[in-house]
Amino acid sequence: MDTAELKSSLRARIWSARRALAPAEVAAAAPLIAGHGLAWARRTVAPGAVLTAYLGVGVEPPTAGLLTDLHEAGFRIMLPICLPERQLGWTEWHPGIEFARSRYAPVQEPVGTVVPAEQVLAGGPDRPPIAGIVLPATALDSEGRRLGQGGGYYDRFLALAAALGARLPTAAVVYDGEVLASGEVPADVLDRRVDAALTPGGIVDLGGAGQTTE
C-alpha cells in the first residue's frame, strides 16, 4: 500500500476502536486529559499565555474540560475555524460561547470574530502571539509523527508557523494506546511532527524515549 492507503487503514482501525469505547470510559478520560493538558501548559508556556486548542467531537477524545480548566487557570484560548482551501482561522473562546456547524467541515465552531492565521501567529495590539498549540490527532508515534483526520488543516497551519519562524510547542490529544512505536504512523514530507501527546494516562514526550512523565 502507498502512504495514503496506509494512513486510511490506520485511521479506520483507530476510529473503530474509539467507537467501541463505552460512554463511561470516555467520561472517565475527560478529567484526566484536562489535568494533564493543564500541567503541560503550565510547564511549557508562561502564565496567561495564548494557546490554540480545539473542541473534541465525535470519536475524538473529550477536550471540553481541558478548555474550561485552561481558561480558569488564566490562559487565553483560540479555537479553529475552517476556511476555504483547507486553511484555519481562529476565534477566541470562553465558557458559554455559542457554537455553530462549520461551512467547510463536519465540526462545530465557536461564533465570533475570525482572526487570520498570520495574525494569530504574529499577535496584535489586543492579543500577543500564540505560545503553544493543542491539536487533535488520530495516532502518534514515539518520534512525533502525527496522523490527523485527513483534511490537512493543521499541517498547513504548522507549516505556516514554521515559515514565519514561529517555533511553538505542540501537544496532540489521543487515547492511551494510540501513541505507537517509531515508524508505525505513516507520514510524508508534508506532515508536521508534534512534541508531546496528552493522553488519559499522562503526558508523553515525543522524539525521545516516549515515556509517560505526568
pLDDT in tens, 95-120: 999 999 999 988 889 999 999 999 99
Grid cell, residue 7, equals 494512513
Residue 163 lies in a domain: yes
- Residue 83 known to bind ligand: no
Read off the DSSP letter of residue 85. Answer: G
Per-residue pLDDT tens for 158-186? 999 999 999 999 999 999 999 999 999 99
- Residue 43 known to bind ligand: no
- Residue 152 known to bind ligand: yes
Residue 168 lies in a domain: yes
Is residue 210's pLDDT more than 80? no
Residue 211 lies in a domain: no
Tell me the sheet residues that pair with 203: 198
Who wins on pLDDT, 133 or 57? 133
Distance in angstroms (rounded) separating the CA atoms of residues 38 and 35: 5
- Residue 146 known to bind ligand: yes
- Residue 119 known to bind ligand: no
- Residue 123 known to bind ligand: no
Burial class (CB in 10 A: 0-12, 13-18, 19+), 57: middle
15 lies in which domain range?
A: 3-205
Number of domains in the chain: 1
Over residues 62-71, the mean pLDDT reads 98
Over residues 193-206, the mean pLDDT reads 97
Residue 144 lies in a domain: yes
Residue 30 lies in a domain: yes
- Residue 65 known to bind ligand: no
- Residue 48 known to bind ligand: no
- Residue 7 known to bind ligand: yes
User: What letter represents residue 134's amino acid?
Assistant: V
Residue 143 lies in a domain: yes
pTM, rounded to two decimals = 0.93
- Residue 74 known to bind ligand: no
Torsion of CA 203, 81, 67, 173, to 10 degrees: -20
- Residue 154 known to bind ligand: yes
